[in-house]
Structure 1
Amino acid sequence: MSRMILIMDRSHAIPCLAVFCVLLLCAIPSSGDDTDSSRSLIEFRKFLTNATMLNDWKEPVANLCSPIWTGCVCTHGVFTGLKLEGMGLGGTIDIQSLSNLPSFYSLSVMNNSFSGPFPSDLNSLRKLRRLYLANNKFNGGIQDKAFSGMTGMRRVVLGNNKFTGNIPLSLLQLPGLVDLQLQSNQFEGKIPDFWQADLIVNFSYNKLEGSIPATLRNQNASAFYGNKLCGKPLDACKPKILTWKIGIIIAVAVGVGLAVVIILFLILRRRVKPLKYQKSIDKFHKEEQIPSKSGTFKNSSEHGKLQFVRNNRQRFELEELLRASAEVLGSGSFGSSYKAVLFGGQPYVVRRFRQMNNVGKEEFQEHMRKLGRLSHPNLLPLVAFYHRKEEKLLITDFAENGSLASHLHSKRSPNQPGLDWPTRLRIIKGVSRGLAYLYEELPTLTLPHGHLKSSNVLLGSTFEPLLSDYALVPVIDKDHAQKFMVAYKSPESSQNDHVTRKTDIWSLGILILELLTGKFPANYLKQGRGPSADLATWVNSVVREEWTGEVFDKDMNLARRAEGQMLRLLKIGMCCCDWDVNKRWDWKEAVEKIQELKEKDSDDDFSSYASEVDVYSSRTMTDDDFSFSKA
Structure 2
Amino acid sequence: MHLIFLLLCVILPSSMAEINDANALLDLKSTIDPQNSLPWNKDSDPCTWEGVKECIKGRVSKLVVENSYLTGTINGGKLSLLSQLRVLSFKSNNLTGNIPDMSRLFNLKVLYLNLNEFTGPFPNSLSSLHRLKTIVLSNNKLSGKLPSSISEIPRLYMLYLDGNQFTGEIPELNQTSLKFLNLSNNRFSGEIPRTVALLQFNKSSFMNNVDLCGVQIECNLGPAMSIPPLKRHHNHRLSHKTKIILIAGISGGIALILIGLVLGIFFCKRRPGRSGKKNGRVEETGPSALPGEEREKGEPSGGERKGAGFSWEGDKIGKLVFIGEEEMNYDMEDLLKASAETLGRGRIGSTYKAVMESGYIVTVKRLKDATYPRLDEFTRHLLVLGRLKHPNIVPLRAYFQAKEERLLVFDYFPNGSLFSLLHGNRPSGGGKPLHWTSCLKIAEDLATGLLYIHQNFGLVHGNLKSSNVLLGSDFESCLTDYGLHSFRNPESAEEPSTASLFYSAPECRDYRKLPTQQADVYSFGVLLLELMTGRTPFQDLVEEHGTDIPKWVKSVREEETESGEGSSGNETSEEKLRALLSIAMACVAVSPKSRPEMKDVLRMIRDTRAEAHISSNNSSDHSPGRWSDTVQSLPREEHLSI
Using the size of structure 2 for normalisation, the TM-score is 0.43
Which structure has the higher relative contact order (CA within 8 Å, separation 6+)?
1
Using the size of structure 1 for normalisation, the TM-score is 0.44
